Amino acid sequence: MSDRPLSPSPEGWESVTTERPVVRWTAITVALVFLALFLLLPLVIVFVEAFRRGAQAYLEAFQEPDAQAAIWLTLTVAAISVPLNVLFGLTASWAIAKFDFKGKSLLITLIDLPFSVSPVVAGLIYVLLFGAQGFFGPFLSAAGFKVIFALPGIVLATVFVTFPFVARELIPLMQEQGTSEEEAALTLGASGWRTFWTVTLPNIRWGLLYGVLLCNARAMGEFGAVSVVSGHIRGLTNTMPLHVEILYNEYNFVAAFAVASLLAGLAIFTLGVKSFLEWRYGDSLSKRVSH
């Protein structure tokens, strides 16, 4: 930097952390090009392909019974697995943030497990447990209860893949808030139940909503784990992502991209609400960068 003057530049002192303009602009350009190439372009193509034969053909793709069945199945799976994970997330983060117990760090590690396990493996676990040749298979088929290649299996796989989202969002938030407000409520005579509804839950509501949103997006979009346990029975066990794959493999591009555009729309919606929550309620969300 010997060529730089020691006196302040006309714009004033430069911060020591500020790079030279050329470095700055190179970094920004690389990031933007990357983003455009790998995120924006595919997203645009989804919609371009979906509307290639016009709006009529786009809408027709949703009139097909199999497509409707897939949409319904996806909604059903999300409607079951998201509340289950809200319940799990709330209890797990409550336990971790408010009590001390043995095995706490093990529990935190286990909550992260679905992030580190391949979704396909997650699906296979359930096939090995509940499939016809699986551990509980004979017992379940004797009872006339079908788990694999049916709704219960899809829900199980989805719950497994999505269970970190709510818990991971709430744990740091609850840890940061501590227990003194709850203690204050208890000394004022409130029951544990009342304390939860009037003090704990309102304090974490935006964090909870944020977690639910991410959990829902993943629940609806999950492919790998669901693909293993679903069996791909058209009109019965095909979720939207699986349906997209089938249509694509049949060279039915417009229909494939039309259904895909719904999922992309969900992603954009989720992103929008997420950004809004971060902007509006950033203080009451946890400071931690989430997934």
- Amino acid residing at 272: G
Tokens, residue 157: 């796989």
Contact yes or no for 261/280 (Cβ under 8 A)? no
For other proteins, which stretch binds (CB under 8 A), given 128-136, 140-148, 184-192, 242-250? 184-192
Of 42, 83, 138, 202, the one binding other proteins by CB under 8 A = 202
Is 199 among the residues that bind other proteins (CB under 8 A)? yes
Least distance CB 197 / other proteins (angstroms): 11
Q: Which is nearer to other proteins, 111 or 185 (CB)?
A: 185
Name 51's Cβ contacts closer than 8 Å, sequence gap at least 6: 58
Of 176, 183, 250, 278, the one binding other proteins by CB under 8 A = 183
Name 194's Cβ contacts closer than 8 Å, sequence gap at least 6: 185
Residues numbered 18 to 57 that lie near other proteins (CB under 8 A) are none
Residues present in the chain in total:
291
Is 104 among the residues that bind other proteins (CB under 8 A)? no
Of 46, 96, 148, 185, the one binding other proteins by CB under 8 A = 185
Contact yes or no for 227/161 (Cβ under 8 A)? no
Q: Which is nearer to other proteins, 179 or 270 (CB)?
A: 179
Round the CA-based radius of gyration of the chain to a whole number and report it.
Answer: 24
Of 71, 107, 150, 186, the one binding other proteins by CB under 8 A = 186
Least distance CB 101 / other proteins (angstroms): 13
- H or E element that contains 16: none
Residue 9 sits at φ, ψ, to 5 deg, of -70, 165
Point out which residues bind other proteins (CB under 8 A). 180-181, 183-191, 194, 198-199, 202-203
